[in-house]
Structure 1
Amino acid sequence: MKLKEDMSPLLLQVFRSVVWVYSVITFLPWYVLSGTNASQSRAKRIKACSVSGRPAGPYRSVNSVQQLVSALHESVDTLDKVFEYAARHFPERDCVGTREILSEEDELQPNGKIFKKVILGDYQWMSYEQAFRAAQHFGSGLAALGQKPQCNIAIFCETRAEWIISAQACFMYNFPVVTLYSTLGGPAIAHGLNETEVTHIITSKDLLQSRLKAILLEVPRLQHIIVVDSKPTSWPGMPRGIMVHNMAAVQDLGAKPENMAKPRVHPLPSDIAVIMYTSGSTGIPKGVMISHSNIIAGITGMAERIPNLDENDTYIGYLPLAHVLELSAELVCVSHGCRIGYSSPQTLADQSTKIKKGSKGDTSVLKPTLMAAVPEIMDRIYKNVMTKVEEMSSVQRTFFVLAYNYKMEQISKGYGTPLCDRLVFNKVRSLLGGNTRLLLSGGAPLSAATQRFMNICFCCPVGQGYGLTETCGAGTISEMWDYSTGRVGAPLVCSEIKLKDWEEGGYYSTDKPHPRGEILIGGSNVTMGYYKNEARNLEDFFVDQNGQRWFCTGDIGEFHPDGCLKIIDRKKDLVKLQAGEYVSLGKVEAVLKNCPLIDNICAYANSDQSYVISFVVPNQKQLTALAVQNGVRGSWEEMCNSPIMEKEVLRVITEAAITANMERFEIPRKIRLSAEPWTPETGLVTDAFKLKRKELKTHYQDDIERMYGGK
């Protein structure tokens, strides 16, 4: 992505001359002192190779060619030992932190809606030793309430310190943890609780009142609800036979000498640690059985890809802990003594929706060095910053664009730009606290434009990763020295990857210039399978002649000569049109999502039709400006329902598609604009913001029939 300049030629020439003189004077000393030569060598080196010599693989990291690595620390083979290791080595270090709520108030918006705004104080920290004791007492208290080893217990709670302490308590006492997204609907929650035969559930006051209470009669085995909030202490209106406890009261019960004296059953590496219900982009959620050894192998692979990871790092936790990306990231941090400060998408930055104007968001206070994000969040940051750039004066905008393009050119060569970073990008970098040294992206493909933008404006590498719940989130992560875009890096040291030919899609390991095929991941991080779903286990998992366990991902990838993987398609996203052309819906969405006018898009095609259609969530600012140009007035809903605006947006989309060299049959012929953004709360996307195609199809069924001529 090259940004356009708009300044007088003379001023441009002066600026470029100054940059050239500065580069000449500073290049040699900077090159010698910064270690750039070593970084360039690392970026260009072979990162993985086919251990069989065949183009299909399997491919392994050059650091684990002889043997895959699955041990984090010596003799630390279960998750309770990981926490014990951390408490023993970093007892006084900060472990988990939560910001104090100083005040809350309702703020009336211009559209009449009321938003709740908060003013937050500093982070209050619990040390590793304190967190370990809290978990120990809580686990003992759960046992006193009748929770048995190897019997499932559910955590249905927002991301917060109490979530991870509860999970650590369960790991200590060998209670398999059933995780459920806080945004799941009632039937999905009831399904997960009933399928796993849960008798005890850990939740929050808000979720108990808003979601759980309504389905309690549908979960007959449930006996105990533990609420992590301190208040209230009484819960009227609960069904008979269900007792509600506060977390603090359970910890007090567990701390009693007679309960602490009872021997606990330590887990084995092969025991189930977590049954993680995926948010499910199709159908009802599936429970993935993850053993202690699976998770430890996964976090071992991830930790190896983060250079200099130690107790001096600070991680900000705000993604759903019921998602494998966040849980794995936090366990990586715990295993190395990092501190974890908790946040939420509504309080993350100074401009976040719940932060009162003039007060500080969580990143400004915490100043994290490490952060995980899903592409949807990075796309939002990218579009927000670029909108502000458009609002700058001509001179300011041109200097920003020149600096952006100059830095893009330099980092593509492996060089840094310390002066540009300090003078131009420091303000953007401060949006994430100013200390971020590594951003990890996962959950869905990250566009090249957004990845390059984050590299440049936040002055830190973006490690794009690839993994699934079925592989503990572990598969690949790009190295921090690799500034290429669109790739997900080489296999982690815990995994190996091979490609399987997919004839229907036309992908073969013999393809030139790169071998292509369905991605199969093998290693100790490959999970035990789906809970009570043997048919899917036989379909998606297999064990080879060497005893290695494999998972068939359904994703299509290609290996590059340096051993890095690129995701290029997905089997489930492939639709055959009436004339026989195959359309990858994911590819259409990935290309068009880069259009500034689009916040989100879902491509759709029927096999008995000859063209693609799309549902589009437009960017409010961009669409409003386009409406003014076309003389369309009215509310946001009226603009989105306007046939004139549909036609105009389709024109812009078509131009973007042609510029991106999309095939004629891939370009959407008709669209439907959605005034409502797609969030996990609407049920149209998962907690990782992946599209739920089945739900979107149902939601827009009338529009599908209209666009295909049925209505």
Structure 2
Amino acid sequence: MHFQEWLRSLRSSAGLKGSESEDLWSLLPSLPLSSFSLSSLSLSSSSLLGLGALASLTAYWLVTRPRPMRPPCDLQAQSVAVNGDPSCRRSALLKDDSLLEFYYDDTKTAYDMFQRGLKISGNGPCLGFRKPGQPYQWISYTEVAEQAQVLGSGLLAKGCQPNPQQFVGIFAQNRPEWIISELACYTYSMAVVPLYDTLGLEAMVHILNLAEISLVICDREEKAASLLENKEKGVTPKLSCLVLFNNFSEAFVERAKASEVEVLKLEQLMDLGRQNLKDPVPPQPQDLAVVCFTSGTTGKPKGAMITHGNIASNTSSVIKILEGSFVIQQEDVSISYLPLAHMFERMIQVSMFCHGARVGFYQGDISLLMDDIKTLKPTFFPVVPRLLNRIYDKILGSVTSPLRRALLHYAVRRKQAELSSGVVRNNSLWDKLVFNRIQASLGGNLRFALTASAPISPTVLSFLRATLGCLIFEGYGQTECTAGCTFSMPGDWSAGHVGAPLPCAMVKLVDIPDMKYYAKNGEGEICIRGPSVFRGYLRDPERTADALDSDGWLHSGDVGQWLPNGTLRIIDRKKHIFKLSQGEYIAPEKIENVYMRCVPVLQVFVHGDSLQSYLIGIVVPDPEVFVDWAKERGFVGSYEELCQNPDVKNAVLEDMKAVGKEAGLKSFEQVKDLHLHPETFSVANGLLTPTLKSRRADIRRVFQEQISSMYSKTAI
């Protein structure tokens, strides 16, 4: 028997391709193939057995070795110029310039998407919740659909109209009743207006009056009382009904009655719906689904009008990009903790519902989130960069010995080498030896994570892609384009960009002469057009005209750069730019994102104005690493004491300047002084928006004394 024949038989039995059998041959001794036959070798039987074992092991390795993910397009050409204009691009997944509106023919609205999941899953689990120390309990798709219909019928019985001009407020934390209330509205073509704590009294009054909301669904008496207080003051005259998930006092009912406001428990409204059950009145794609008020960093909130068609096209585009690499299955489960009042979390949930998958809610206490994750064991993890940064810091902070640190970094490099060849897995030797505890801390079942809402450091993203062993995608967008307009391409695990345009969006860059960004150089303000772009701001034509131009392009205020492979990089911010006294333009958020890479820095706020010649900063040091970082530099003290030590401040400032210089910041973009503050900026203290962006005006106000003090020193 000739060796070539034997090799062919081995190849066919192992299912090897020709190139792989040649790989196998290359592992064996270099002998002439043409005249080589087993009978011509005078080998002992033990040598033949050894040779056969080697060949079998090699064949096994070739068959079972990890396969790189096959990308859906050429990763060197992920987007295509529209009409020959390289500054305007669309997804390479599209056959032509026609943008994607629907992926499934039967899912053209958010209501349709849930109905599709209902057909797939039926009595399967849909919404999960838990009590402290308990396992998750589940409400089935059938139960959710039934409860939504009776609740919607109850809303109609209370005078709501089954059309998209009817606005219903929802003022609650993430929980199953939130989704059931939303679906109740969609079942009868009503539109949802989410409310949230940090909007503040003035903004809440503005929203209730602008949308003419008469009925608000709340979770707790405290929230309902804040709304009732406005009615008592006579500033929200149309408010007439409050529906609560939780129990409430009789005194509150009497107080509300005095202001002609009816208070009902959710069950009471559902009982009323059962007695007056109506057939569904499903919405159309062009109908309004939600008015999402963006808190903004200044001024009154704007109500972005999002249609069912917007939601369907955006969700469909993500499904299109992931086809062939990640298909959401009925067994998948997502953890819900990001605010449902914002589109990012809502789009995640719609995607899950469309495939009959599950959504488990956290208990409502962010300090218990990791316990909820370990209990739920999610396969799908929506996340914001701040949380990924915390996970990254915790991993590095937990490795104290030089040997373990060296092993961690070596294992990360080996996994990153696999990633660069397109292989994503969590069953390698390094996963078993080094990363298993990290993966177990997030439940051990993660298949997919999506980060959005703010830029993430390429270092952190690459590190976590290696250590978590799951697909981590990055998206970019804003409320006004229904969450996303670009998305990572499967198989492209490089960092430093936000992917290519989604199939529902054209993205173009336009000149910003003041900042010296020009589209001809592949740089400019990011503008988006397509079926996922919002209808405008509710009853606010002036600000709608600022955001949407006459050709339907949404102007984002962000500055982007096209990379040679057709992906987009966010390089600057237009909206918060200001001038220093000598005329230099400053984009503080770009500088803050650079300084966030400093080891001792958890949060940073960069400030300057046209009367000053230099920048200063407010820095919140990272409590988990700051004390040790300072000790390594000879400074000893508690976290609070170190924040007050001027020498420590100077050490932090030097570290920030070094990182800034390495990142290419110009001299005038570097802060010249800073104040160390021991309390983190948070939603609770009013210094962050619910999407975890800095409330710049509020931070300036809170730290006005420190800012004035820094500028009162001799000019630098």
Would you call these one fold, judging by a TM-score over 0.5? yes
Residue aligning to 1:696: 699
Letter aligned with residue 238 of structure 2: R
**1:649 Cα offset (Å):** 1.7
Match of 1:60 among 50, 71, 91: 91
Letter aligned with residue 177 of structure 1: V
Match of 2:464 among 437, 451, 454: 454
Partner secondary structure for residue 573 of structure 1: coil
Query: 1: distance between equivalents of 2:623 and 2:133?
Result: 29
Letter aligned with residue 590 of structure 1: N
**1:139 Cα offset (Å):** 0.5
Shift of the 31–581 alpha-carbon distance from structure 1 to 2, 3 Å rule, reads farther
Q: Is 1:221 paired with 2:238? A: yes
Residue aligning to 1:499: 509
Residue aligning to 1:346: 365
Residue aligning to 2:36: none
Letter aligned with residue 605 of structure 1: G
Deviates more, 1:629-638 or 1:85-94: 629-638
Matching of residues 383-462 of structure 1 within 5 Å: 383-389=393-399, 391=400, 393-415=401-423, 418-462=428-472
Letter aligned with residue 396 of structure 1: R
Shift of the 27–167 alpha-carbon distance from structure 1 to 2, 3 Å rule, reads farther
Residue aligning to 2:675: 672
**1:697 Cα offset (Å):** 1.4
Query: 2: distance between equivalents of 1:170 and 1:49?
Result: 39
**1:80 Cα offset (Å):** 2.3
Query: 2: distance between equivalents of 1:606 and 1:616?
Result: 18
**1:501 Cα offset (Å):** 1.4
In the alignment, is the contact (CA less than 8 A) between 2:174 and 2:364 conserved in 1?
no
Matching of residues 316-327 of structure 1 within 5 Å: 316-327=335-346
Deviates more, 1:41-50 or 1:195-204: 41-50
Letter aligned with residue 543 of structure 2: R
In the alignment, is the contact (CA less than 8 A) between 1:487 and 1:565 conserved in 2?
yes
Matching of residues 155-170 of structure 1 within 5 Å: 155-170=170-185
**1:573 Cα offset (Å):** 3.2
**1:640 Cα offset (Å):** 2.3
Residue aligning to 2:332: 313
Residue aligning to 2:568: 565
Match of 1:611 among 614, 623, 627: 614
Residue aligning to 1:11: none
Deviates more, 1:318-327 or 1:147-156: 147-156
Query: 1: distance between equivalents of 2:393 and 2:129?
Result: 29
Residue aligning to 2:301: 285
Q: Is 1:483 paired with 2:493? A: yes
**1:212 Cα offset (Å):** 3.8
Query: 2: distance between equivalents of 1:40 and 1:240?
Result: 61
Letter aligned with residue 327 of structure 1: R
Query: 2: distance between equivalents of 1:41 and 1:265?
Result: 38
Match of 1:532 among 514, 534, 539: 539
Residue aligning to 1:708: 711
Shift of the 178–710 alpha-carbon distance from structure 1 to 2, 3 Å rule, reads farther
Residue aligning to 1:204: 219
Residues 329-352 of structure 1: per-residue CA shift (max 9 Å, x gap)? 1011111111111115735xxxxx
Partner secondary structure for residue 530 of structure 1: coil
Query: 2: distance between equivalents of 1:695 and 1:27?
Result: 64
Residue aligning to 1:174: 189
Shift of the 286–364 alpha-carbon distance from structure 1 to 2, 3 Å rule, reads same
Query: 2: distance between equivalents of 1:649 and 1:466?
Result: 31
Residues 627-676 of structure 1: per-residue CA shift (max 9 Å, x gap)? 55677676644432333332222122222223333222221111111221
**1:192 Cα offset (Å):** 1.2
**1:42 Cα offset (Å):** 5.5
Shift of the 635–197 alpha-carbon distance from structure 1 to 2, 3 Å rule, reads farther
**1:443 Cα offset (Å):** 0.7
Shift of the 40–336 alpha-carbon distance from structure 1 to 2, 3 Å rule, reads closer
Match of 2:478 among 461, 468, 471: 468
Query: Which runs of 5 or more structure 1 residues have no equivalent in the other structure?
Result: 1-24, 102-118, 348-352
Letter aligned with residue 410 of structure 2: L
**1:49 Cα offset (Å):** 0.8
Letter aligned with residue 578 of structure 1: S
In the alignment, is the contact (CA less than 8 A) between 2:618 and 2:675 conserved in 1?
yes
Shift of the 148–705 alpha-carbon distance from structure 1 to 2, 3 Å rule, reads same
Q: What TM-score results when the alignment is normalised by the length of structure 2?
A: 0.86
Matching of residues 261-300 of structure 1 within 5 Å: 262=278, 265-300=281-316
In the alignment, is the contact (CA less than 8 A) between 2:101 and 2:531 conserved in 1?
yes
**1:466 Cα offset (Å):** 0.7
Query: 1: distance between equivalents of 2:99 and 2:63?
Result: 36
Query: 1: distance between equivalents of 2:222 and 2:315?
Result: 29
Residues 449-496 of structure 1: per-residue CA shift (max 9 Å, x gap)? 221122011111211101111000020110232111121111111111
In the alignment, is the contact (CA less than 8 A) between 1:598 and 1:619 conserved in 2?
yes
Query: 2: distance between equivalents of 1:678 and 1:253?
Result: 44
Query: 2: distance between equivalents of 1:475 and 1:31?
Result: 39
Residue aligning to 2:29: none
Residue aligning to 2:154: 141
Query: 1: distance between equivalents of 2:479 and 2:213?
Result: 21
Query: 2: distance between equivalents of 1:30 and 1:482?
Result: 25
Partner secondary structure for residue 174 of structure 1: coil
Query: Which runs of 5 or more structure 2 residues have no equivalent in the other structure?
Result: 1-55
Deviates more, 1:50-59 or 1:678-687: 50-59
Residue aligning to 1:187: 202
Query: 2: distance between equivalents of 1:209 and 1:670?
Result: 45
Letter aligned with residue 497 of structure 1: V
Residue aligning to 1:3: none
Residues 298-356 of structure 1: per-residue CA shift (max 9 Å, x gap)? 11112223321222211111100001100111011111111111115735xxxxx348x
Query: 2: distance between equivalents of 1:524 and 1:584?
Result: 31
**1:77 Cα offset (Å):** 2.4
Residue aligning to 1:687: 690
Partner secondary structure for residue 669 of structure 1: strand
In the alignment, is the contact (CA less than 8 A) between 1:557 and 1:569 conserved in 2?
yes
**1:207 Cα offset (Å):** 4.6
Shift of the 509–280 alpha-carbon distance from structure 1 to 2, 3 Å rule, reads same
**1:509 Cα offset (Å):** 1.9
In the alignment, is the contact (CA less than 8 A) between 2:73 and 2:93 conserved in 1?
no
* Number of residue pairs matched by the alignment: 649
Residue aligning to 2:138: 125
Deviates more, 1:551-560 or 1:209-218: 209-218
In the alignment, is the contact (CA less than 8 A) between 2:304 and 2:535 conserved in 1?
yes
**1:436 Cα offset (Å):** 0.9
In the alignment, is the contact (CA less than 8 A) between 1:49 and 1:62 conserved in 2?
no
Letter aligned with residue 150 of structure 2: H
Partner secondary structure for residue 374 of structure 2: helix
In the alignment, is the contact (CA less than 8 A) between 1:157 and 1:207 conserved in 2?
no
Residues 155-195 of structure 1: per-residue CA shift (max 9 Å, x gap)? 11111111111000001112211112233222222221121
Letter aligned with residue 77 of structure 1: K
Query: 2: distance between equivalents of 1:207 and 1:269?
Result: 36
In the alignment, is the contact (CA less than 8 A) between 2:581 and 2:610 conserved in 1?
yes
Letter aligned with residue 479 of structure 1: M
Query: 2: distance between equivalents of 1:245 and 1:633?
Result: 57
**1:420 Cα offset (Å):** 0.8
Shift of the 37–369 alpha-carbon distance from structure 1 to 2, 3 Å rule, reads closer
**1:30 Cα offset (Å):** 5.3
Match of 1:95 among 115, 121, 126: 126
**1:577 Cα offset (Å):** 2.5
In the alignment, is the contact (CA less than 8 A) between 1:43 and 1:481 conserved in 2?
no
Residue aligning to 1:104: none
